[in-house]
């Protein structure tokens, strides 16, 4: 399994991670992370719905943005005005 997917499995329910933060931890680019999220064969074990833009915007999702928002809300992540507050962001050490 790709390192990006392995790292993403560490993001707990109730948190999100930015494409950039995930890229930094995996030593790759945010664009490469986005491409991997789009073809994630391990969902929901690898929770690609927890990856968002660095400014809290939801970003894309293969099964639709509304589904992504529903999954995040189910996990306790509030989405207000199409954004997620920074206090819900996860950062790798």
Q: How confident is the model at residue 42 (pLDDT cuts 50, 70, 90)?
A: very high
CA distance 46 to 11: 9
Delimit the domains of the chain by residue range: 3-88
| Known catalytic residue at 82 | no
Catalytic residue among 23, 48, 58, 77: 48
pTM (predicted TM-score): 0.95
In angstroms, how far is CA 54 from the centroid of its own chain? Answer: 10
Write down the pLDDT at residue 1: 74
Write down the pLDDT at residue 46: 97
Write down the pLDDT at residue 13: 98
Smallest CA-to-CA distance from 84 within 57, 44, 64, 49 is with 57
Q: Examine the pLDDT at 62 and tell me if it is beyond 90.
A: no
Write down the pLDDT at residue 80: 97
At the top level of CATH, the class of 3-88 is mainly alpha
């Amino acid at each position: 399994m790709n390192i990006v997917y392995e790292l993403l499995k560490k993001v707990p329910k109730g948190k999100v991670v930015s494409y950039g933060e995930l890229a930094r931890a995996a030593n790759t680019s945010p664009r490469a992370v986005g491409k991997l999220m789009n073809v994630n064969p391990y969902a929901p074990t690898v929770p690609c719905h927890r990856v968002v833009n660095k400014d809290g915007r939801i970003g894309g999702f293969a099964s639709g943005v509304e589904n992504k928002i529903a999954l995040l809300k189910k996990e306790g992540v509030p989405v207000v005005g199409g954004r997620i507050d920074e206090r819900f962001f996860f950062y790798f050490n």
